[in-house]
Structure 1
Amino acid sequence: MPTLNPALATRPAPASTSFGILGAISSAHLVNDMMQSILLAIYPVLKGEFSLSFIQIGLITLMYQLTASLLQPLIGLYTDRRPKPWSLPFGMASTMAGLLVLAFAPNFATVLLAAALIGLGSSVFHPESSRIARLASGGKHGLAQSLFQVGGNLGTAVGPLVAAVVIVPYGQGSVAWFALAALAAMAVLARVSHWYANHPGAGVRRANAAATAPSHSPRAILGAVAVLLVLIFSKYFYIAGLSSFFTFYLIGKFGLSVQAAQVQLFIFLFASAAGTVLGGPIGDRIGRKPVIWASILGVAPFALALPHADLFWTTTLTVIIGFVLSSAFSAILVYAQELIPGKVGMVSGLFFGFAFGMGGLGAALLGYFADHFGIDAVYQAIAYLPLLGVVAALLPRQRRA
């Protein structure tokens, strides 16, 4: 695998935003996260096919999230020193392999293997793609991260819809057709990798101390990172409970069909994708901290009301929750990248990885909780998590880029 000269990581970013490259990695992000979402959306199919319990459903998510989370910071740290542009198609190939294994899995253990392969693909994809987004940003770091993230969130939203249209009627084997989308994404990523490998400005000039020196003391940086991780925990643990069991919640509480419940899941996830667009650009204008504060703590009243709502208000509240809460991640990630300059890959890997890990852990623990106390109890318990957004007050103010 060709290695980018580490010295290139010390040169300044281009002055103009490369929207073509941002569009390409956003499209690949759409495919990557659509595969993850398909796995989530066909849980009712897998539950019926293999007679799974809710804890087993949660373990599938945990397997995906653990392989995606544990490797990401290590891959990001390694590629900060030795960037690997051509790793992107390799990561998507792992995702494609996971889909094919999932399509023909004969038992629960093989489904776990498929989830692990899809998670491995994500662990390779996210750190390098985040670095490319920053490189192509032209200084508009929040905008670039939002454009990158919106592709992933759109993919997450589309997954339940294609599951309802294709996989539910035609069965588990129809998942194999989506490997073609992964193959197309590999071709797109090969072009992005070529651009990245040959670009003269692959990072920030280390010699420029003003550009690379941390703006806070090590102790303040560690404290800020701890606060950001608490916020990631609250967001993704909540999202894990809301999304992993949403179809079951709607089927059990309102008597919806599997396909109708998946359409409702699509509506929630599409609202999340739409909200992603706002967090980064607004953070570029007014600062990251207000966006982080408002996007997590701001959904608390709606989250607390959700377990008591009828179907109409359940739909309405989940749209609001998805739209507002999704704006947080781009702002959190760029805030952390500015907090620890020169470590884009490691920071991206840490935060993507921790997000996936919390999502997986949340799905497994809440699956156990659902088996013992019911789905309604899960939604009542997780409703208090957005209140942790209050800790955003402890974040130090960042300098404007």
Structure 2
Amino acid sequence: MQAKIENAPIVGEGSFYRRALYTFSGAHFLNDLVTTGMVPALVVMYKDAFNLNYTQSTLIVLISYLTSSITQPIFGVLTDRKPRVWFFAVGLFLSISGLALTAIAPNLIWLLIFVAISGFGSGVFHPEASRGTHFASGTKKGLAQAIFQVGGNGGQAFGPLMIPLFLVHTGIDGLIWLLPLALLSLVLTVPLLNWLNGKVKDFQFKKKELPGENHLPGTILLVTVILLRSWCQVGVVIFLPFYLSNLTLEQSELLNFIFVGAGALGTFIGGLLSDRIGMKRLMVGSMFLATPFALLFPHTSGFLSVIVLLLFGFTVLSSFSISVVYMQLLLPKNIALASGLSIGFGVGAGGIGSVFLGSISDLLGVSTVFTILSLLPLIGAVLAALLPNENKLFAK
């Protein structure tokens, strides 16, 4: 996932560089495939392989999200001050190879270390990848950002499919075959470093601050809504295989793909709709519409459960893309902080919440967790209704 959105225009726009842009998008696909895509889906396999309880299992996700998402604003600030173009290639290599090494982890401690290496690589990768996307975009900023995000969303959606298509046949040991992919990632990214380094030297960034004052109460509310949405999303991905214990691992991970894939589509459609109906209305409406599907899902089966899960994923994540813009309106004096809170911190907190849900699972059972997950969108909708109207923020 993206660490930080560069809002500063480049002095002297360049041309739309398709090769670079699709390289950034492809690299984003690979990164999110192994981090936000595969790690949560692998929890059920790690649990069996290392004989873990639910709390220990969700600790894996916590470490992954802490090192990948929570650190992204930090790396964003560092690369703003002094660009480090090699972060782009090295970060992707570490994110893939770190997960590959979990195949040879002898115990939980080493498993967490390798997962942390993978997450750290993801945190390093995103700021320079985001910066490079801006260099390659020319005057087509919106189109470039959409292509870059599609790469990440696609990786996150396809990550769970690696379980039924490959790892269910090889077990955890099969992850070691990601090492050749890590090496191939260098072939993809290294040739672009000279171009990227040249752009860093030729162009200067100037921060663009939106008019108006920071809106602290609104910021706290929006962060809370993002946290609730993230806890719901990550919770469903992690606990769905445990909840649907009557299904095979392949079937449950296919349902995860449907949920996350529908969310990726919802992210794109939600961004388009927000221009017509407004960001606040879209955020409140999407969270509210997700509630009945969340409540209904535990009581459905067969094909109907697939449809409900698809609609659940589509609605609950359709506000993802507008959260960043909304946060920037609330924090016009701190654009970088706004991006870090809404993307890096907001998504990473989903991993933190999953640990608490894991403890609840150990005490009260997985069904109780799904009851909690079904209420999170409703609480988020109520809080989102209290957000300041974006038209008033624009007027400042």
- TM-score, structure 2 normalization: 0.86
Deviations 1:163-220 (A, max 9, x none): 21211111212112123333333333334444433237857545xxxxx3432213x2
Deviations 1:54-82 (A, max 9, x none): 11111111111111233222111222222
Equivalent position of 2:238 in the other structure? 244
1:52 is the counterpart of 2:56: no
Hey, what's the Cα distance between the residues in 2 that align with 1:174 and 1:113? 19
Distance 1:13 1:173, change over 3 A: farther
**Does the 8 Å CA contact 1:25/1:192 hold for their aligned counterparts?**
no
Matched, 1:300 2:296: no
CA distance, structure 1, for counterparts of residue 166 and residue 23 of structure 2: 26
Residue pair 1:58, 1:367 contacting (<8 A) in 2 also: yes
Distance 1:171 1:131 in 2: 37
Are residues 355 and 55 of structure 1, via their aligned partners in 2, closer, same or farther at CA, if it must alter by over 3 Å?
same
Counterpart of 2:4? none
Alpha-carbon distance in 1 for matches of 2:125, 2:261: 22
Pair 64,163 (structure 1): closer, same or farther in 2 beyond 3 Å? same
The 3 A distance-change label for structure 1 pair 340 and 192 is farther
Tell me what 1:3 maps to.
none
Q: In structure 2, what is the Cα distance between the partners aligned to 1:52 and 1:376?
A: 19
2:198 aligned partner, one-letter code: N
Gaps in structure 2 of 5+ consecutive residues: 1-7
Q: How does 1:273-284 map to 2 (within 5 A)?
A: 273-283=264-274
Partner of 1:82: 82
Partner in structure 2 of residue 92 of structure 1: 92
Q: Per-residue CA shift, 1:214-252, capped at 9, x if unaligned?
A: 32213x2x333323211210110111211111111112x
Answer yes or no: is 1:325 the counterpart of 2:324.
Answer: no
Distance 1:20 1:108, change over 3 A: same
Q: Give yes or no for contact 1:126–1:352 (8 Å, CA) kept in 2.
A: no
- For 1:298, what is the secondary structure of its paired residue? helix
Q: What is the percent sequence identity of the aligned residues?
A: 35
Aligned residues, how many? 382
Q: Which runs of 5+ in 1 are unaligned?
A: 1-8, 207-211
Provide closer, same or farther for how the CA distance between residues 338 and 391 of structure 1 changes in structure 2, counting only shifts above 3 A.
Answer: same
Residue number in structure 2 paired with 1:14: 13
In 1, Cα distance between equivalents of 2:337 and 2:203: 15
Helix, strand or coil for the counterpart of 1:183?
helix
1:1-400 aligned within 5 A? 11-12=10-11, 14=13, 18-36=17-35, 37-138=37-138, 143-199=143-199, 205=206, 212-218=208-214, 220=215, 222-251=216-245, 255-283=246-274, 287-337=278-328, 340=331, 345-387=336-378, 388-393=380-385, 394-397=387-390, 399=394
Distance verdict in 2 for CA 1:192–1:246, change over 3 Å? farther
| CA-atom RMSD in angstroms | 2.8
Shift of 1:281: 4.2
Following TM superposition, by how much is the alpha carbon of 1:91 offset from its aligned partner in structure 2, in angstroms?
0.9
Q: Which amino acid aligns with 2:301?
A: D
Indicate if the aligned counterparts of 2:101 and 2:175 stay in contact, CA closer than 8 A: no
Deviation string 1:286-344 (CA, Å, 9 cap, x unpaired) is 65444433333331221122222223332111111212333322211233346556866
Specify the SS of the correspondent of 1:199: helix
Contact 1:279–1:291 (8 Å) recurs in 2: yes
Please state whether the residue corresponding to 1:384 is helix, strand or coil: helix
Structure-2 separation of matches of 1:325 and 1:243? 13
Q: TM-score, normalized by length of structure 1? A: 0.85
Structure 1 CA distance for aligned equivalents of residues 320 and 177 of structure 2: 31
CA distance in 2 between partners of 1:202 and 1:395 (Å): 36
Q: Return the alpha-carbon distance in structure 1 between the equivalents of residues 179 and 63 of structure 2.
A: 20
